[in-house]
Structure 1
Amino acid sequence: MGQDEATSKAVSAKGTLNVGVNPALSPMPSNLEELVTLMQQPASQFTQGDPRDMIWIRPGPVCTVCYNLDAPSSHSSPWAKREYLIAPGTPAAHIKVAVATDLLGGARRGCLTCAMVAAALNAFAPGWDKKKTIVHMFVAPNLPVVVQLLYGSLSTTTADESPSKYGWVWPEGAGVHWDVQVTVRDATAQPVEFEIYRCDDPVDQSTVGGLVIGEQIRHIGTASPISGHAGSLPCFQFLKTCVETCMQTHQCSSGGHPPKLPDRVIWVKAPGTASGIRLVETWGQQQPQQQKKRAPYLALSYCWGPVSASTLLTDASNLERHKAGIAYADLPPLLQDVVDIARLLGIEYVWVDRLCIVQASETDFAWQAPKMGSIYGNATLTIAAASASSEADRILVARDAKWQTMDLDIAEKTFGGKLHFQIRRRSQPLGKEREGGDYGKVSTRAMLSSRTVFFTSSGLRFECRTHSLWEGFGPGLTGPSWSAQLDSAHISHAGWMDLVSEYTRRTLTRASDRLPAAAATMRRVAKARGWSHRWGMWTGAGTPVDTLAWQAERYTGVRYKHLCAVRPGFYAPSWAWASVEGPVTYEYVTGMDTARDPKTEDAEVCEWDLPSGVIRVTGRVITRTIRCHVTEFPGDPAVPGVIEAEPAGLSHRYTMAGLAPQSKEEEVEVEGMEGMPVTPDSALQPWTGVVVDGVAESTVVRVPHGDPVPDRSWAGECRCLMLVRQKLRCVVLLLGRSRRVPGAWERIALVGGPDPACWEGAPRVELDIA
């Protein structure tokens, strides 16, 4: 520990510890017995200074199994900078133990850190050493060690093949050499993921030996226990500190003054009422908008759950009664907890949609919906009730025992040293936080907020537009803010595509909230980037054509099902992702390898008629036939803990021949059906209702909302508009005739992978897409 060889004396203890002692130490231990006596002293009684500066243990050989949980450069990994806000250049490693029981061999050879990990595995996954298992360890200086246990084995093969198969353009004669490593997972056993961290024991509770030996694992980060109850004092202290730190040191909300209150709020410290709770209107004929009261307020993001006649709502029949007072006992359990949180934080006002928007009133909803972004964005704090499935569930509850911390103590008998660690399951799987976390329905509205606390089953997570912080994080350790991306002046269209993919995977209580919520988010980006938007899409001159290249999420089950459905009425034009309800992705364009084969926009949007929702696109078009093969699916039983039951029903598979994909693997042949697979925007059907030049034309359209999906196989013609191309493949928009706008087209699907050569000689035409 910083001492020169010439000025130190080594004493070997049982041949396992090579201890260096500063000669200035008085009295200087002359043998093992004196050294043991010294090391067993309480650290608080060591009068020579810091024991770690006077006595040190020389490191031995590096363990070839766990690398002593340090960060070898040969195992470099970006995992840490994705999970935490750490200094640039901080080394991080991913250590893989292909046969997990090798940890036991390392422990028998005297490796302390192998023994630590093995002991932790015994606690979280008893019997792991009796099965085929793989261990992944993620390490970085001053961070908790993350350990993943997978049930299964590794299979490694090599392969050489042509890069053109993958749409890559490499020099003539070049090949691709692959070392393919496949994890063969045991589907009957769930993976285990946990973290190991140090506890900072006060010096007066430690021995000299404990402090000295502890230097061997000083690179492992520290953290603190998570409370066993979400309503405990430590939880409120954590939350209060997070909010105050953000308000005092960050610029996550505009201005240094309290926000204007929404049009209606629940006043939780209302005098003159038995419960101190009533609905107040902050704006009206007597209170102009510019004179609205300013005050801190909480907003709630939660899952409504089933609505019945007894559900507490504000509607026309009880609006005046709620303004007179609301009994605490009449509030559902979740809202009671929210009132308690507000009062403990010293905040008098709460905004809850079902009480602050007049239900069953389209007029009031139309008035309030466009303000949703500012309501959540201006809130002092949004409470995201992630652990509640409905208003009947409380969030101030005891936490499941599986999330609680366990102690991991390691004693060194010779010197009396003791290492104290703690281990706990990770609240979120590694890598999930960089996507904004997965907290179900509550995440969509929470992403609009300046500050949010997620009440999850495993702990509290605070996020503002500067950073994120889990309850129990180590001192000064924070994570990235997912919502901060929306304020960045450097956000790209590709970055926005990733956000849309994440956003549409989340659901809202009212699907009609989707565009107002997206618009509020887009206003933040527009302010930073100067872009224009409509219908949840970026519009106007300079907008890349590949923003049109969204696609419905593909279903990966045995029976093909449509994951997206058409919305009722006219909610958005067909070229906008908001025209369907369900998860969408931009993987065809964001997954292109543009480093080896740059992409080129082949089509151009030359006119945006936003009031009508019609855009005019110029590009090369060919005509092809799309086929739908409909079969009866008998159903599959569930495998407990692995897959859900797949009920019997119709299976619809769509293909299109004549697009000549580069890889034959991208073509399918199912019961005589050939061609490239197509994932439609929603269920499709043939249609002959359009007449062009006096002739009925067959086309393909989306099945309207509420109409039955065809139960027989069919085929129909569509137009194929090339959007984006590379040398070997392209992304293509499939279009059918519009039933809403005469003479226009509507999109029905997007495909990726066709050979651009199919469009050679095709004329460039103008198409109106509605």
Structure 2
Amino acid sequence: MPLPKSLRRPVVRRTSSSSSVGQTQRKKCRTCNGLDPRGHASTVCLDETAKEPKASLSLVLDALNLSKTKDTARGGCRFCNVLILVLDAFFEKWRGARVRINVDLKEKGTIKVSLDGERWKNEVVEIYAGSVSRTPWPTLGTAHHIPVNSGSDETFNFIRRCIQGCIANPKHTACRFSCKSSISAPKRLLDVGRASSPIRLVDTQGKSFQYVALSHCWGSATMLKTTKSNWPKLAINISFNSLPPLFQDAIIITRQLGLRFIWIDSLCIIQDSLRDWELESSKMGSIYQNSYITISATNSGDGSARCLAERRKPIKIPYENTTKKEFALRARKVLDHHPTSDPNSGPARPVGPLTFRAWALQEHVLSTRVLHYTATELLFECKSSYRCECMPDRKAYPTTPSLIPKAVASKKIEFVWQAWQRIVAQYTLRSLTVPGDKLPAISGIASKIRKATHSEYIAGLWKGNIALDLLWHASPPATSGSGAFVLDTWRAPSFSWASLDVAITYTFLDDEERETFTPTAALLASSIVPTGLNPMGAVSGGSLTLRGPTTPAILSSDQKHGKWAYTLLIKGTSSIHITNDCFLVDSSFKTEGGGKEETVRRARPSDPLRHFKACVLCLSVARYDNIVAGLVLGVSEQNPEAWERLGTFAAGTEAFQKSEEKEVILV
């Protein structure tokens, strides 16, 4: 499928700043430019209208070449030596690795160093001056102090300032809520009282309380859970020492904030009661939204990993200038988490094990205020602003909790649909311990979207945006791993992204494309069968009946460079590559006359992959910019009168010149 204009990378023009900021007199190192953002062919002026425009420079260095650089004592570059010392301290085994080193320089700012490759993903080292009055060289800036312990008084004071700054700010209208609904109130809370008081589970009886919520990874570690048998005992007293370390830290944080109650899912939901789990999980969105603040144990892989912990201290880097004068130079590891001021860019990106868990996404999206405990610092987000310990000043950057409120406040329903699709794209990157939780784990967000749009929810799709929602596609197309096959156990209809464990994305249209976007398939009927008490949760069946232009085609498979690709052959047009949902295989079905015909279906893990050519049906779903976008369908094994989705295609309008309007049932 060709990329729409909104996904094509714009051409960035670089401007040499030599005329505006001047060249320094000394000859600079060709490798590192003396760690100076000025005077390089790729220097960019951040603000050319300012009296003293600040420069920025991004360098890409070769690790093998840098590792061979002479040290300062043998006439090497002292600035390259700084980089080498930093890399040795923070990036193990970088020497000898065939990777690129990224060095980002900003005038009067800190220097950010990172390495390409999965091994060092999201890891960034920040180099900065230890003192404002004695900076080693003119363009290097200082950095905000970060306490070396996340449980320090400094960090708790930072938390209190963040919360009070949110509550007291009259502009934070999105952060104000009223927790009066007994329907959405948690059924149980953990009463942590004071340090000398007993900890116990209490039944809220529909009353409203000010409480903290914990977002965490369960992991494989043994933790205390509430069951039908131990619930009466836990309602009397829970020993602090019987709780996993993470829960102990969460209680300490709750008490430090002057609060009495906390909601922890494993304790506040009876784990061996399906009814209790379905009722409380269906309220999950409101539980997090109505909490005073959410503690996000981002860096904790399970209950045994504390969030109140020691952090790695910054290191001192020896540096002498040309006159042998020593300076205080520091370096510390940070995580690539900052948002940007561009409203169209993404919000803050906390880094840690929790960010890979599917359930945690809606806890992040729906919370009013969130504290992210990461490996290097604390991040604070609300529905209006963002702060972190390395950037403590309040900023009106995009935040994840603001995503839906801003879309709703815009009064434009297309913005709400875009918000949903961006969330789903992120959600499908995450993993689940229980595969059947795919729809329940995002049902809280779905409830908010339904409230905002009053649209019918169809197992991950929306009736009010059905054309664009149907055009989800695997990203990238399946090549290996468990997601490259259909699930062993049916979970959702094939037209839903929830039917697979694969990362997906959508066709995001720019303004011009949206003006020309025209749905070509009409939704005639839909049917979804929920399996439990959560109407937005797990399903046991579902179908869509659509009417739109169709054309028969031959789908062929081919293996190139070890990867399987699938091509459509439509009479009168050139071949069209499809974006397959997963691996595909040929299959056969019985006709009404008792004969057999060939078709294509999604491959199971036990299926041998092979070359094939078989008949499929192409359904046009929409047109824009002289492009027809649609679905590739194969006959359903369970119901030969229905069709199952195989992938998506995009083609020129000539492919559907001889199309036939047809009613199609998707299952």
Question: TM exceeds 0.5?
Answer: yes
In structure 2, relative to structure 1, the CA distance for the partners of 1:564 and 1:502 (3 Å cut) is farther
Distance 1:131 1:614, change over 3 A: closer
What SS class does the counterpart of residue 506 from structure 1 fall into? coil
Identity percentage of aligned residues: 23
| Aligned counterparts, 1:475-624, within 5 A | 475=393, 480-489=398-407, 490=410, 491=415, 493-494=417-418, 496-525=420-449, 530=453, 532-535=455-458, 537=460, 539-541=462-464, 543=465, 545-554=467-476, 562-563=483-484, 565-566=486-487, 568=489, 572-586=492-506, 589-590=507-508, 600-601=517-518, 603-609=520-526, 613-624=542-553
Contact 1:93 1:138 in 2 (8 A): yes
Deviations 1:3-43 (A, max 9, x none): xxxxxxxxxxxxxxxxxxxxxxxxxxxxxxxxxxxxxxxxx
The one of 149, 172, 194 equivalent to 2:125 is 194
697, 701, 719: which one pairs with 2:617?
719
Quote the residue 1:449 is aligned against.
Answer: 367
- Please point out which of 197, 201, 208 is paired with 1:293: 208
Aligned partner (choices 314, 330, 334) of residue 246 of structure 2: 334
Aligned-partner Cα distance in 2 for 1:259–1:234: 36
Question: How many Å separate the matches in 2 of 1:188 and 1:443?
Answer: 24
Q: Give yes or no for contact 1:553–1:563 (8 Å, CA) kept in 2.
A: no
Aligned counterpart in structure 2 of residue 235 of structure 1, from 151, 155, 177: 155
Partner of 1:255: 177
1:769, distance to aligned residue in structure 2 (A): 2.5
The secondary structure found in structure 1 opposite 2:390 is: coil
Q: Is the 8 A contact 1:625 1:715 kept in 2?
A: yes
Aligned mates of 1:266, 1:191 — CA distance in 2: 35
Q: CA deviation at 1:536?
A: 5.5
2:264 corresponds to 1:352: yes
Q: Offset at 1:281?
A: 0.8
Q: CA deviation at 1:724?
A: 4.2
1:6-17 equivalences in 2 (<5 Å): none
**Is the contact made by 1:259 and 1:378 (CA closer than 8 Å) also made in structure 2?**
no
1:526 Cα deviation (Å)? 5.8
> SS in structure 1 opposite 2:138?
helix
Partner of 2:384: 466
Given the superposition, is the C-alpha separation of residues 300 and 131 from structure 1 closer, same or farther in structure 2, using an over 3 Å criterion?
Answer: closer
Larger CA deviation: 339-348 vs 511-520: 511-520
Q: Normalised by the size of structure 2, how large is the TM-score?
A: 0.74
| 1:744 counterpart (633, 636, 642) | 642
Cα 1:679–1:594, aligned 2, differ >3 Å: closer, same or farther?
farther
Give the CA deviation at 1:504: 1.2
Residues 669-692 of structure 1, C-alpha deviations (whole Å, 9 max, x = no match)? xxxxxxx46533576662526x55
Partner of 2:661: 764
- State the partner residue of 1:405: 314
Please report how far the alpha carbon of residue 245 of structure 1 lies from its aligned counterpart in structure 2 after TM superposition: 2.4
Distance 1:354 1:345 in 2: 22
**Post-superposition CA distance 1:329-376 (Å, at most 9, x none):** 222222222222222222211111121111222211221121010111
Offset of residue 537 of structure 1 = 4.3
| Alpha-carbon contact 2:58-2:102 (below 8 Å) kept | yes
- Correspondence for 2:145: 224
Q: Deviations over 1:228-265 (max 9, x none)?
A: x3333333333333333223323453337899751111
Q: What is the CA deviation profile of residues 653-701 of structure 1, one whole-angstrom value per residue up to 9, with x for unaligned ones?
A: 463441599998x8xxxxxxxxx46533576662526x55876665444
Q: What amino acid is the match of 1:294? A: F
Counterpart of 1:732, as a letter, is G
Decide whether aligned partners of structure 1 residues 426 and 267 sit closer, same or farther in structure 2, where only a CA change above 3 A counts: same
Q: Which whole-Å CA distance do the structure 2 matches of 1:477 and 1:143 have between them?
A: 18
Q: How far apart, CA to CA, are the structure 2 residues paired with 1:97 and 1:686?
A: 50
Query: Which segment drifts farther, 262-271 or 63-72?
Result: 63-72
Offset of 1:385 from its aligned partner?
Answer: 2.1
Q: 1:112: Cα distance to partner?
A: 7.9
Change (3 A) 1:79 1:576: farther
Residues 67-216 of structure 1 mapped to structure 2, 5 A cutoff: 69-70=36-37, 75=42, 93-98=56-61, 116-117=82-83, 120-121=86-87, 123-124=89-90, 134-140=100-106, 143-149=109-115, 193-200=124-131, 210=134, 216=138
Counterpart amino acid of 2:522? V
Kept in 1: contact 2:493–2:499 (CA 8 A) = yes
Q: Which residue is equivalent to 2:33?
A: 66
> Compared with structure 1, are the counterparts of its residues 436 and 149 closer, same or farther at alpha carbon in structure 2 (3 Å cutoff)?
closer
Q: Cα 1:576–1:326, aligned 2, differ >3 Å: closer, same or farther?
A: same
Give 1:282 shift: 0.6
Contact 2:622 2:629 in 1 (8 A): yes
CA contact (8 A) 1:225 1:405 kept: no
Deviations 1:717-769 (A, max 9, x none): 321113345678654312233467784333232245x5543333122323233
In structure 2, the CA distance between the partners of 1:515 and 1:77, relative to structure 1 (3 Å rule), is farther
**Structure 1 residue runs without a partner (length 5+):** 1-56, 81-86, 151-184, 284-288, 632-650, 667-675
CA 1:729 to 1:226, structure 2 compared with 1: closer, same or farther past 3 Å?
Answer: farther
Partner of 1:304: 218
Q: Cα 1:413–1:75, aligned 2, differ >3 Å: closer, same or farther?
A: closer
What amino acid is aligned across from residue 762 of structure 1 in structure 2? S
Q: Does the aligned pair in 1 maintain the 2:62–2:99 contact within 8 Å?
A: yes
RMSD: 4.8
Distance 2:448 2:245 in 1: 34
Between the two proteins, the alignment pairs up a number of residues equal to 605
C-alpha separation between the residues in 2 aligned to 1:436 and 1:660?
Answer: 47
User: For 1:702 and 1:221, how far apart are their aligned partners in 2?
Assistant: 56
Which residue does the alignment assign to 2:566?
655
What is the match of residue 14 of structure 2? none
What do the CA deviations read for 1:36-86 (whole angstroms, capped 9, x no partner)? xxxxxxxxxxxxxxxxxxxxx996468475375336797477999xxxxxx
Q: Distance in 1 between matches of 2:395 and 2:252?
A: 29
Q: Contact 2:179–2:208 (CA<8 Å) still a contact in 1?
A: no
Rounded Cα–Cα distance in structure 1 between residues aligned with 2:265 and 2:94 = 48
Alpha carbons 2:588, 2:596 under 8 Å: kept: no
Shift in alpha-carbon separation, 1:60–1:537, aligned structure 2, 3 A? same
- Structure 1 Cα separation of the partners of residues 245 and 138 of structure 2: 49
1:487·1:525 contact (CA, 8 Å) conserved in 2? Answer: no
For 2:34 and 2:574, the matched residues in 1 are separated by 42
Asked whether the 8 Å contact 1:94–1:136 carries over to 2, the reply is no
Equivalent AA in structure 1 for residue 469 of structure 2 = T
Code of the residue aligned with 2:217 in structure 1: it is: C
Name the CA distance, whole Å, in 1 between partners of 2:157 and 2:445: 30
**Are the equivalent residues in 2 in contact too, given 1:76–1:91 (CA < 8 A)?**
no
Any residues of structure 2 matched to 1:372-387 within 5 Å, and which? 372-387=284-299
Worse-matched range after superposition: 434-443 or 351-360: 434-443
8 Å contact from structure 2 (residues 199, 238) kept in 1: yes
Aligned: 1:426 with 2:334: yes
Residue of structure 1 equivalent to 2:301? 389
